[in-house]
Structure 1
Amino acid sequence: MAQADGWPAGRWTQEHLAEGEMHCHRIDATLHRAGSGLQTIEVVETGGYGRGLFLDGRVQHVEADEYIYSEAIVHPPAVMLGARCRRVLVVGGGPGGVVREALRHRGVESVVQVEIDAAVLDLCRTWFAHVAQGCYDDPRVEVVIADIRDFARRTDRRFDLVVNDISEPMEGTPAAGLFEAPMLDALASLLSPEGVFVTWAGSAGPRSDDLARAIDRAVSDRLPHTARWLCHPQAYGTSWLTVAGSHAPLDPWRLSAAEIDAWLAARVAGETMLYDGETHVHMFSLPKDVRRRLATRDAGPAVLKVGPATEAAR
Structure 2
Amino acid sequence: MPEVSRLSQSSRALVHARGLVKRFGEFEAVRGIDLDVHRGEVFGFLGPNGAGKSSAMRMIACVSPRSAGALTVLGLDPESDGPAIRARLGVVPQQDNLDSELTVRQNLEVYGRYFGLTRARVRATATELLEFAQLTERAGDAVEPLSGGMKRRLTIARALVNDPELLLLDEPTTGLDPQARHLLWERLYQLKLRGVTQLITTHYMDEAERLCDRLVVMNGGVISAEGSPADLIERYSTKEVVELRFAPDETRPPQRILVGLVERSEQLPDRLLLYARDGESVLNALHQSGVRPRASLVRRSTLEDVFLRLTGRSLVE
So what's the TM-score if we normalise by structure 2?
A: 0.32
So what's the TM-score if we normalise by structure 1?
A: 0.33
